[in-house]
Structure 1
Amino acid sequence: MPQIDQIADTLSSQVFWLLVFFGLTFLVVGLGMVPKIMGTVDLRDQQIAGDLAAAQAARDAANSEEEAWRKRENENRAAAQALIAEAKAKAAKANEAKLDKAQAKLDKRLAEAEAAIDAARSSAMAEIEGVAADAAREIVARIAGTDVEPAAAEAAVKEVMAHG
């Protein structure tokens, strides 16, 4: 068969040109394009690693800033609470002083009122004794028809009021 006889003649030529094209393709792709691609991939990997490191550093800085802010905020809150407590203590002390002053005035007025009531009671009791003594003299005069000495009537009224 003529096709089989032809294979030996054309096979070596085809293998030669196959090797030439594969060699050229290897040289163009393997030595020209692959190093550029690998360089780009390495550069990209380095850039990603740098970005990740920068992001971690920024996160750490933000966390430390947040911690410092929280510490300052807690200190400020504690200082504000201390000021509030101090203001409350001052206000309570001022109110206590005002209350003590008002209580002293009220105690003084109460003592004056009690003294006035005692004086009025003593005066009323003296008047009641006088009126009772006069009434007792009149009753004795109407019932018994005798006159009683004013001093004796007052003594009798005092004795009865002392027991009653």
Structure 2
Amino acid sequence: MPQIAQLAETYSSQIFWLLVFFGIVFVFIGRGMVPKVMDTVAQRDQQIAADLAAATAARAKADDEEEAWRVRENENRAAAQAIVAKAKADAAVKNEKKLGAAQKRLDTKLAKAEQDISEARNAALAEVEGVAAEAAQDIVQRLAGVKVTAAVAKNAVKKAMANV
């Protein structure tokens, strides 16, 4: 094989060109491209860190705003409950006044009705006494044949009614 025979003669030349090629590759890649790639990676890391910091700040701000909203909501709820309680109390006072006025009207009507009933009862009793006195006069005259005066008959009926 002739290639193997030439190996000793071309060995030093091949190593030289290998070193030249790797040197050129090292210069272009190692000195030119790698720093740019490393800068890009560093910028990406910085951007990620900045984004994370912004997200954390935004979350903290959102939490603070939510807490402030909750405080305002609780204050509004308490104010609304106070308004409702005041309205209920006002309504209760108005109802009490209306009920008191209605009770007074009912009491006066009841008193008048009781007075009317009492007057009607007294009138009925007087009428019953009158009828009873006339009936007693008529009964005594028919049974005993004695004529009794109206005053005597009324006194007898009053005494009899007092026992009842």
User: Where on the TM-score scale, by shorter chain, does this alignment land: which range?
Assistant: over 0.9
Amino acid at match of 2:110: L
Give secondary structure in 1 for the equivalent of 2:8: helix
Alignment-derived partner of residue 25 in structure 2: 25
Q: Which amino acid aligns with 1:130?
A: G
Kindly report which structure 2 residues correspond to 1:4-153, keeping only aligned pairs within 5 A, or say none.
4-153=4-153
Aligned-residue CA RMSD in angstroms? Answer: 1.3
Structure 2: which amino acid aligns with 1:110? L
Give distance in 2, aligned partners of 1:16 and 1:154: 166
1:158 corresponds to: 158
Q: Give the Cα–Cα distance (whole angstroms) in 2 for the partners of residues 161 and 2 of structure 1.
A: 168
Once the two structures are TM-superposed, the CA of residue 41 in structure 1 deviates from its matched residue by 0.6
Q: What is the Cα deviation at residue 117 of structure 1?
A: 1.3
1:15-47 per-residue CA deviation (whole Å, 9 max, x = no partner) reads 111111111101110110000000011001101
Deviation at 1:120, TM superposition (A): 1.5
> How far has the Cα of 1:95 moved from its partner?
1.4
Aligned length, in residue pairs: 164
Unaligned runs of 5+ in 2: none
Q: Distance in 2 between matches of 1:112 and 1:5?
A: 150
Shift of 1:144: 1.9
Q: Normalising to structure 1: TM-score of the pair?
A: 0.94
In the alignment, structure 1 segments of 5+ residues that lack a partner are: none
After superposition, what is the alpha-carbon deviation per residue over 1:48-99, rounded to whole angstroms, capped at 9, x for unaligned?
1001100110110011001001100110110011011101111110111111
Identity of aligned residues (%): 63
Cα offset, 1:2, TM superposition: 4.4
Between the aligned partners of 1:112 and 1:40, the Cα distance in structure 2 is 105
Distance 1:54 1:86 in 2: 47
Question: Normalization by structure 2: what TM-score?
Answer: 0.94
